[in-house]
């Protein structure tokens, strides 16, 4: 049995940060285990091809839920990365941290040390922004963040239309105020994706005290009493951790691994024939995700990116990209968007993602022709789901129940966002370009019941699963980790991924999970 000081299970956004920080001390022997391979695909490195990776790539596998009543019986399908860099290697590269209120709320829930005042310096230290260095942004970290360049005509038209609808322009969604429409900053650098792997793992890769094990799956955590002492690999080999095992496998895989290791709801585990190591009922509960309801408009002229990946047009884009690292292929496509308060609380509750094309769905074909898609996404879901084992068999699909839109307020928020997206599309800067509204069909906005049915029929995840091993104090019986991310009731076991979020942040989750990893490393190193 090989021995290491720290074993990191999952080479994604969090795992790469942890591997870097822990191995910076040459006295630490660190092992990073990733189920997938290295992030060498050209489709990963070029920003504009991320849709090909996330929908059809070999570096992705999909979790499929049971039919969801809140989604008119449709399943939720969540792609998960199977590659070094994890989500940061397949996502849309939108760099959003969330609202200050998100983290202050964590503190109010008993997560001491996680207020916005506590986490902002970590975000700044991680960041190397190409043009901002101020109270909110850093310029010396490993994570390159860029402003969009040469935004698509339709991305700019949306921003103008949003202002015409009364929404202010915002130059920095990660600054003092999230509200407004504008252009997203992205985790790109010189026209290429800047994943957690490129930012944190590649600089550390040559360290003699860091071992990176790819194409290996962890079967379960090895324990002695209530102490994690290593992991058992799917090939039957075991690896020992002298200090800690850290789970960074994501909000679906992490609770599954815990349960398969005997850590979870004891009654449920016994029914599956699993020996209970620690009865921890919160494991796999509290599942949350961001859902989007799309509004789409067909254009009068061929102004979208439809067909730009084929024939002579594709060759021209490729030639420009290869020679200058610019043009359409250097774009993350989701260039513009915004954050809006639709409930009048003072805090944005809807995020817009805008794509200069029609988009399809898992269960619905893409509309034909040239179009623009405006996707309102609710930010703070109240609905809660579950991720549970269906069998002790490691190859069995989990019992995944998102319970989407089970809280009526989530549906109402998404309806308000859909209504606002329709109104933005009716503003002069977009109206002059639009031939017809393709989705939802015109007139539906005057029928509240029909509009709600439409939202249920199209709402889908934007791939931000979280919450299934939530952080909380000892007094919370459903908390899985404490504020230093140690698993309650266990020794030598920590979790550092989106599963520890007690509530979802208001926006994309990649930046927050890297912040969480940096804090986890600080906690671990302070205990040496």
CATH number for position 444: 3.30.410.40
Statement: residue 277 has pLDDT above 80:
yes
Is 429 found in the same domain as 302?
yes
Residue 140 belongs to a domain: no
Are 203 and 56 found together in one domain? Answer: yes
- Region of 213 (left: φ > 0; alpha: ψ -120 to 50; beta: rest) is beta
Q: Is 263 within a domain?
A: yes
> What is the model's pLDDT at position 74?
94
Q: Residue range 353-373: average pLDDT?
A: 86
Q: Is the pLDDT of residue 341 over 70?
A: yes
- List, for residues 390-401, the tens digit of each pLDDT value: 999 888 999 999
Q: Characterise 149 by phi-psi region: left (phi > 0), alpha (psi -120 to 50), beta (else).
A: beta
Is the peptide bond between 440 and the residue preceding it cis, with omega within 30 degrees of 0? yes
Q: How confident is the model at residue 58 (pLDDT cuts 50, 70, 90)?
A: low
Provide the token pair at 185. 């900053």
- Residue tagged 């290491």 (tokens): 4
Asked if residue 156 belongs to a domain, the reply is yes
The verdict on 217 and 337 lying in the same domain is no
- What is the per-residue pLDDT for 57? 63
Confidence (pLDDT) at 52: 77
Q: In this structure, are strands 371-378 and 434-439 parallel, antiparallel, or unpaired?
A: unpaired
Residues 8 and 94 in one domain: yes
Which of the 8 DSSP states describes residue 269?
H
Average pLDDT over residues 334-339: 98
Number of Cβ within 10 Å of residue 232's Cβ equals 16
The mean of the pLDDT values for the chain is: 95
Q: Are residues 388 and 427 in the same domain?
A: no
Confidence of residue 360 (pLDDT cuts 50, 70, 90): confident
pLDDT of residue 148: 75
129 is catalytic: no
Residue 153 and residue 4 share a domain = no
**318 and 170 part of one domain:** yes
Distance CA 250, CA 380 (A): 19
Q: How confident is the model at residue 54 (pLDDT cuts 50, 70, 90)?
A: confident
Reduced to 3 DSSP states, what percent helix, strand and coil does the chain have, rounded to the nearest 5?
A: 30, 25, 45
Residue 33 lies in a domain: yes
The pLDDT of residue 368 is above 80: yes
Q: Is the per-residue pLDDT at 214 higher than 90?
A: yes
Q: Domains in the chain: how many in total?
A: 2
Mean pLDDT computed over 55-59: 67
Closest alpha carbon to 435 in 425, 445, 443? 425
pLDDT over threshold 70, residue 85: yes
Average pLDDT over residues 237-251: 97
Residues 69, 202, single domain; the answer is yes
472 shares a domain with 336: no
Q: Check whether 1 has a pLDDT greater than 60.
A: no
Q: Where are the alpha helices (DSSP H) in 262-356?
A: 266-271, 311-324
Return d(Cα 506, Cα 502) in angstroms, integer: 13
Q: Do residues 416 and 342 share a domain?
A: yes
Check pLDDT > 60 for residue 43: yes
Q: How confident is the model at residue 472 (pLDDT cuts 50, 70, 90)?
A: very high
Alpha carbon separation from 148 to 91, 316, 325, 402, 471 (Å, rounded): 16, 21, 13, 34, 35
- Rounded to whole angstroms, the Cα distance separating 281 from 260 reads 14
Q: What does residue 294 show for φ and ψ, rounded to 5 degrees?
A: -85, 145
Confidence at residue 56, expressed as pLDDT on a 0 to 100 scale: 62
pLDDT (average), residues 457-474: 97
Q: Which of 232-246, 313-327, 397-411 has the lowest mean pLDDT?
A: 313-327
Is 318 a member of any domain? yes
Active-site pick, 278, 353, 464, 488: 464
Residue 362 pLDDT > 70? no
Select from 431, 458, 485 the last residue of a domain.
458
Q: Is the pLDDT of residue 55 over 80?
A: no
Considering the entire predicted model, what is its pTM?
A: 0.97
User: Domain of 516?
Assistant: 1-100+195-288+384-393+464-528
| Euclidean distance between CA atoms 201 and 89, whole angstroms | 12
Tell whether the model's pLDDT for residue 361 goes beyond 80: no
pLDDT of residue 284: 98
**431 band by pLDDT with thresholds 50, 70 and 90:** very high
Residue 202: inside a domain? yes
pLDDT tier for residue 246 given thresholds of 50, 70 and 90 = very high
pLDDT of res. 363: 62
Domain match, 206 and 265 both: yes
Q: Nearest-CA neighbor of 207 among 27, 36, 86? A: 27
Identify the CATH number of the domain in which residue 49 sits: 3.50.50.60
Query: Do 339 and 414 have their domain in common?
Result: yes
């Amino acid at each position: 049995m090989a021995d290491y000081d720290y074993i990191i299970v999952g080479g994604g956004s969090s795992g790469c940060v942890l591997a870097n920080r822990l191995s910076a001390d040459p006295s630490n022997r660190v092992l990073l285990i990733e189920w997938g391979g290295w992030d060498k695909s050209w489709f990963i490195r070029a920003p504009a091809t991320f849709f090909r990776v996330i929908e059809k790539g070999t570096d992705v596998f999909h979790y499929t839920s049971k039919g969801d009543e809140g989604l008119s019986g449709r399943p939720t399908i969540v792609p998960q990365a199977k590659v070094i860099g994890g989500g940061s290697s397949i996502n849309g590269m939108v760099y959003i941290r969330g609202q200050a209120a998100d983290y202050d709320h964590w503190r109010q829930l008993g997560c001491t040390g996680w207020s916005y005042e506590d986490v902002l310096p970590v975000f700044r230290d991680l960041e190397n922004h190409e043009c901002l260095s101020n109270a909110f942004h850093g310029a010396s970290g490993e994570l390159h963040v860029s402003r969009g360049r040469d935004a698509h005509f339709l991305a700019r038209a949306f921003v103008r239309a949003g202002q015409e609808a009364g929404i202010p322009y915002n130059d920095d969604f990660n600054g003092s105020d999230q509200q407004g429409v504008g252009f997203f900053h992205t985790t790109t650098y010189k026209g290429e994706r800047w994943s957690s792997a490129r930012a944190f793992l590649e600089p550390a890769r040559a360290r003699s005290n860091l071992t990176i094990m790819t194409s290996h799956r962890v079967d379960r955590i090895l324990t002695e009493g209530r102490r994690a002492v290593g992991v058992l690999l799917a090939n039957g080999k075991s690896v020992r951790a002298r200090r800690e095992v850290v789970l960074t496998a994501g909000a679906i895989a992490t609770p599954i691994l815990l349960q398969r290791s005997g850590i979870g709801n004891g009654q449920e585990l016994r029914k599956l024939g699993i020996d209970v190591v620690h009865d921890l009922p919160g494991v796999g509960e509290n599942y949350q995700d961001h859902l989007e309801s799309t509004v789409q408009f067909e254009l009068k002229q061929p102004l979208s990116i439809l067909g730009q990946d084929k024939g002579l047009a594709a060759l021209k884009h490729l030639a420009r990209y290869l020679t200058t690292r610019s043009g359409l292929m250097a774009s993350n496509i989701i260039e513009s968007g915004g954050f809006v308060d639709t409930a009048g609380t003072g805090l944005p509750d809807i995020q817009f993602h805008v794509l200069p094309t029609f988009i399809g769905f898992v269960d619905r074909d893409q509309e034909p022709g040239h179009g623009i898609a405006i996707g309102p996404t609710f930010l703070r879901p109240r609905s809660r789901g579950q991720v549970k084992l269906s069998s002790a068999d490691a190859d069995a699909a989990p019992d995944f129940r998102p319970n989407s839109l089970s809280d009526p307020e989530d549906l109402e928020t998404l309806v308000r966002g859909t209504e606002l997206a329709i109104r933005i599309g009716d503003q002069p800067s977009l109206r002059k370009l639009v031939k017809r509204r393709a989705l939802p069909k015109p007139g539906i906005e005057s029928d509240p019941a029909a509009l709600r049915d439409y939202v249920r029929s199209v709402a889908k995840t934007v791939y931000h699963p979280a919450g299934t091993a939530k952080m909380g104090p000892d007094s919370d019986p459903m908390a899985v980790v404490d504020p230093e991310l140690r698993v309650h009731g266990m020794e030598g076991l920590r979790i550092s991924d989106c599963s520890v979020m007690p509530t979802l942040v208001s926006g994309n989750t990649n930046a927050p999970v890297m912040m969480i990893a940096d804090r986890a490393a600080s906690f671990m190193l302070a205990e040496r």
